[in-house]
Amino acid sequence: MASVFGKPRAGGGSQSAPLEVNLAILGRRGAGKSALTVKFLTRRFISEYDPNLEDTYSSEETVDHQPVHLRVMDTADLDTPRNCERYLNWAHAFLVVYSVDSRKSFEGSSSYLELLALHAKETQRSFPALLLGNKLDMAQYRQVTQAEGAALAGRFGCLFFEVSACLDFEHVQHVFHEAVREARRELEKNSLARPLFISEERAVHHQAPLTARHGLASCTFNTLSTASLKEMPAVAQAKLVTVKSSRAQSKRKAPTLTLLKGFKIF
């Protein structure tokens, strides 16, 4: 995986291997997923992103004095959850983002939380999710109150924050680190919750256990995926490569390093 953004690895010591955490950012188009991801990784707010691109970034973080190898998948669903298995089977924790100035995006975040709850029920595991009301700087155009956000989060038992990708970095960083803490707690609680890795690129067909039965008709699993997910057999044998979503595969012609419009990534 290309180490795209973020901080370099901390000093070349003989420390123990960092904790590995996969974090998926979910939400309707325009909620600010890319802006928050870029803010976290670069401390910068960049206003224009290609909405069709999706990729996974890695960053070396230190959370509560512990080194963490964090991977962030900035997803690019259309208006509803699609081909969800690419992140459901990959992430240890989820950030579900809506925009405080958009009721539609708030309703979209509710669908994502329902999807996660259903996934947890089906796999009999719990997946930490944080609900984020983004664009707090646009509070004068609010369509969603803070109380509504808190109530939705409460309904699904997740943490809730209001943030802005164009205000202070520390607040955004705090939220991402909270997601790492949640994931770490869950991983520690369940030592069987081993990370997934991509073994090879190969077409696989999935049945659709999460579809209409639960009213999630738009979340179709009966699609062509480019990645075959397997449980990690042992750390030493695992080969990790960049996750490529089916949507990214079909839409993306540009190489990974030109992911963000007008933004050079080294």
| Interacting residues with ligand GTP (CB under 6 A) | 27, 29-35, 47, 49, 51, 76, 134-135, 137-138, 164-166
Query: At its nearest, how many Å lie between ligand GTP and the CB of residue 159?
Result: 18
Alpha carbons 111 and 261: distance in angstroms, whole number: 28
Distance from C-alpha of 17 to C-alpha of 240, rounded to nearest angstrom: 15
Determine contact, residues 239/197, Cβ cutoff 8 Å. Answer: yes
Contacts (Cβ under 8 Å, ≥6 apart) of 14: none
d(CA 104, CA 150): 17
| Closest distance to ligand GTP from the beta carbon of 45 (Å) | 7
Q: Tell the smallest beta-carbon distance from residue 54 to ligand GTP (Å).
A: 8
β-bridge pairing 66-74 and 55-63 = antiparallel
Nearer to ligand GTP, 16 or 47 (CB): 47
Q: How far is the CB of 211 from ligand GTP (least distance, A)?
A: 22
CA distances to 9, 66, 191, 248 from 74, in Å: 21, 24, 26, 11
Residue (29 or 104) nearer to ligand GTP, CB: 29
CB of residue 3 to ligand GTP, shortest distance in Å: 21
User: At its nearest, how many Å lie between ligand GTP and the CB of residue 247?
Assistant: 10
Residue with smaller CB distance to ligand GTP, 21 or 163: 163
Rounded Cα distance, 35 and 161, in Å: 16
Between 171 and 194, name the residue whose CB sits nearer to ligand GTP. 171
CA dihedral 70→74→80→83, nearest 10 degrees, is -70
Q: How far is the CB of 212 from ligand GTP (least distance, A)?
A: 24
* Smaller CB separation from ligand GTP, 33 or 82: 33
Based on CB atoms, which residue is closest to ligand GTP, 88 or 166?
A: 166
Residue type, 102: S
Nearer CB in complex with ligand GTP: 46/240: 46
Tokens 């190969």 correspond to 202
Question: Are the CB atoms for 181 and 63 separated by under 8 Å?
Answer: yes
At 162, is the secondary structure helix, strand, or coil?
strand
Taking the least distance from each CB to ligand GTP, the nearer of 131 and 165 is 165
Minimum CB distance to ligand GTP, residue 165 (Å): 4
Q: Which of 186, 56, 195, 196 is nearest to 127 (CA)?
A: 186
